Amino acid sequence: MGGPEVERLVALLAKLPGLGPRSARRAALRLLQQPEARMLPLANAMAEAARAVRSCRLCGNLDSTDPCAVCADPHRDRAVVCVVEGVGDLWALERAGVHRGLYHVLGGTLSALGGVGPEDLTADLLLSRLRDGTVREVILALGATVDGATTAHWLTDRLAPLGVAVSRVGQGVPIGGALDVLDDGTLAAALRARRPA
Ligand SMILES: [Zn+2]
């Protein structure tokens, strides 16, 4: 229906998280029915974001400035770094306003099944960030999955020789839950209830 242009649009939309083929068709139809009001502004916003947004070379956040706004903010506590799996977790913590330090985006967790090894993560970058002694505490805010726990142990071992305090968020993080699905209150409680790793 609608020709190859529409098929292509639906196929691309269907790849987005939360959208299957059925919702993708619905979204495509809504856009096509209001090309001036919805579709072109969306297309422009996407092109603009693709052009402007990049990965922060310090922490791995996505922003239109590099270093990102968090890393460049002089009011952030540079002695505390919160390690998260992905940018979605960082944004969730920022939305909740529960962390006043800096972040480090690890890029995932170690996963034997998923074929993710140490070389796929940004742990080396994290260790090099810690070398100048500014950072005194690293908070591991990884999901409470088996892979998250494995990764937390592995990172704790690697951080131990550097003499920084390492803590883990605990209470309130559901088993198998990713941080970015938690509500703000739960995130705040999880961060407050961190304990030594
Ligand atoms: Zn940054």
Cβ proximity of 168 and 135 under 8 Å = no
Which residue type sits at 37?
A
Cβ proximity of 90 and 141 under 8 Å = no
Q: How far is the CA of 109 from the centre of ligand 1 (A)?
A: 19
**pLDDT of 86 higher than 60:** yes
Q: How far is the CA of 59 from the centre of ligand 1 (A)?
A: 4
Q: How far is the CA of 68 from the centre of ligand 1 (A)?
A: 4
Average per-residue pLDDT for the chain: 90
pLDDT of amino acid 191: 77
pLDDT of amino acid 184: 73
Protein residues within 5 Å, CB atom, of ion ligand 1:
56, 58-59, 61, 67-68, 71
Q: How far is the CA of 191 from the centre of ligand 1 (A)?
A: 20
Which residue type sits at 52?
A
More confident residue, 12 or 190: 12
User: Percentage of the chain surpassing pLDDT 90?
Assistant: 72
More confident residue, 23 or 144: 23
Beta bridge partners of 104: 83
Q: How far is the CA of 178 from the centre of ligand 1 (A)?
A: 21
pLDDT tens digits along 180-195? 667 777 777 777 778 7
Q: How far is the CA of 16 from the centre of ligand 1 (A)?
A: 25
pLDDT tens digits along 145-164? 889 889 999 999 999 999 99
DSSP per-residue letters across 78-108? EEEEEEESSHHHHHHHHHHT---EEEEE--S
Cis bond upstream, residue 21 (ω within 30): no
The residue written with tokens 């390492």 in the block is 166
**pLDDT of 124 higher than 50:** yes
Q: How far is the CA of 104 from the centre of ligand 1 (A)?
A: 8
Q: How far is the CA of 56 from the centre of ligand 1 (A)?
A: 5
Structure tokens at 111: 């996963």
DSSP per-residue letters across 123-160? HHHHHHHHTTS---EEEE---BSHHHHHHHHHHHHHHG
